[in-house]
Structure 1
Amino acid sequence: MSLQNRVVLVTGAGRGLGHSIAQAFADEGASVVVNYRRSSDAARALAESIGTERAIAVQADVTDRAQVKAVFGRAREHFGRPVTTVVNNALPDFSFNGDAREKADRIGYGAFAAQLEGIVGGAVNTIQAALPGMREAGGGSIVNIGTNLFQNPVVPYHDYTAAKAALLSTTRTFAADLGPEGIRVNMVSGGLLRTTDASSATPPEVFDLIAGSTPLRKVTTPEDFAAAVLFFASDWSRAVTGQNLVVDGGLVMN
């Protein structure tokens, strides 16, 4: 697939899964906007490794509409053309530790509100800032990053899972609304990945247990996941919108 003429924004790309997604786009020839909130050194190192002609690292908190709008301005100035692919990967602060998470009888709505603001609010801010450039270009692709936990809630991440489920609803309603303009909106959802910053503390036996539960007998890697994101960004999925693809080795089947 050719992505050489694409300008891609990956939010939360300074580390973890976002880093892998940004690198995958760069490997396919796309120009990449590496968004970060706090991971300045890692984001800048990634952009430098790709090359200044095809990558730029830009700081922004996606919950701040003005900061997000400025990212798109910087991208257009740097590349001379608009962003036409957006990957909404950024997360608010969250501890992926099931044993330490508050259970149903203790969690407060404030935790849900924080995740909704970061996950749904951040995605809405980013999509809306991207629309003028996508309309100018005659279309675009938006890929939201989800989770398989709202289909297989094996860990009590109540607030995180609820926000990701809301993001799926937003994916589908935005797909219906923006489809007539040639703008596609899809979601790629994963489970535990081997290995990211979020899963670095996961014991090896947990990875082995999950691998043994999947038809493919393996735990998905960030590179596996990124490949599915590239599919939704490419013309190979030009007739696909409003879909949620679960990439977890077959652990969850739709």
Structure 2
Amino acid sequence: MKLNEQCVLVTGGARGLGAAITRALAREGAQVVINYYRSEAAAQALARELGPRVIALQADVTDAHSVGALFDQALAQFGRPIVAVVNNALADFRFDGDARPRIDEIAWGRFQQQIDSALKGCVNTLQAAVPAMRALGHGRIVNIGTNLFQNPVVPYHDYTAAKAALLSLTRTAANDLGPDGITVNMVSGGLLRVTDASAATPEAVFDLVAGLTPLRSVTTPEELADVVAFFLSPWARAVTGQNLIVDGGLVKG
């Protein structure tokens, strides 16, 4: 199914990387549902900017009932089901390694918050989306991960652990849903220049990361968003259960 034939949900799609993904999909002609939790003004402004094929709907991805209501609203407004989901929503988090607690002092509540956002949020959207996808024999799930699995250079213990669990779910779900024509993949970025979450990162860190990459640059949200669009496109129809790292070549494998 071409992108301009798809209705795509982008969770956390109003700001930062989510907004870049929303713009990339709208550029390719997809109908896009911008999911937001608290960022109503940003979501509605982005929907107005991108036109009638983009709508903004509120839902807490950690609440299955709220997610189900969003899917019903999207179907009512677009007249067609959501056939692709980008799980991008991120619980409140700032990428500032100097301010993050070390492993011997971090509270479990931080882990629970990230697990609920990344893992529970994905389960809720996936379970809401699969019935229509299965009926159509077509579906696309893209989960947003991190290159910190392979390169744990900063103590984001809670964030990285939750994303690692999401990678495992990506692979088990890909195996489970493949016979139904549904692919499940992950796109993992590194430090992005710049999102709300990475705005607290010192400029010296951006420069250091850029110098370590073969491309001598820090990946932008727009560059990562284009890879998400690839996984939703027919070009990726034979790819599932994969984790593609998009960080300018900093991390290998």
Is 1:235 the counterpart of 2:234? The answer is: yes
CA shift for structure 1 position 135: 1.5
Larger RCO (CA within 8 A; separation ≥ 6):
2
Q: Percent of counterpart pairs with the same letter? A: 66
Aligned-partner SS, 1:218: coil
Partners of 1:7 and 1:77 lie apart in 2 by 12
Residue range with higher mean Cα deviation, 234-243 or 104-113: 104-113
- Preserved contact between residue 93 and residue 197 of structure 2 (Cα < 8 Å): no
- Preserved contact between residue 37 and residue 59 of structure 1 (Cα < 8 Å): yes
What do residues 83-112 of structure 1 show as CA deviations (whole Å, max 9, x unaligned)?
111000001122322111110111122221
| Structure 1: unaligned runs, 5 residues or longer | none
Measured on the aligned residues, the alpha-carbon RMSD in Å equals: 1.1
Aligned residue for 1:200?
199
Aligned residue for 1:167?
166
| Structure 2: unaligned runs, 5 residues or longer | none
CA shift for structure 1 position 119: 0.8
Aligned residue for 1:44?
44
Aligned-partner SS, 2:9: strand
- Preserved contact between residue 95 and residue 200 of structure 2 (Cα < 8 Å): no
- Preserved contact between residue 82 and residue 137 of structure 1 (Cα < 8 Å): no
Aligned residue for 2:141?
142
Aligned residue for 1:110?
109
Residue range with higher mean Cα deviation, 108-117 or 65-74: 108-117
Aligned residue for 1:12?
12
CA shift for structure 1 position 2: 4.2
Q: Deviation above 4 Å: which 4+ runs of structure 1?
A: none
Aligned residue for 2:78?
79
Alignment of 1:172-187 (within 5 A): 172-187=171-186
Partners of 2:142 and 2:57 lie apart in 1 by 19
Partners of 2:151 and 2:49 lie apart in 1 by 37
What do residues 165-206 of structure 1 show as CA deviations (whole Å, max 9, x unaligned)?
000000000000000000000000001101111112322221
Aligned residue for 2:64?
65
CA shift for structure 1 position 3: 1.2
- Preserved contact between residue 2 and residue 29 of structure 1 (Cα < 8 Å): no
Partners of 1:137 and 1:48 lie apart in 2 by 30
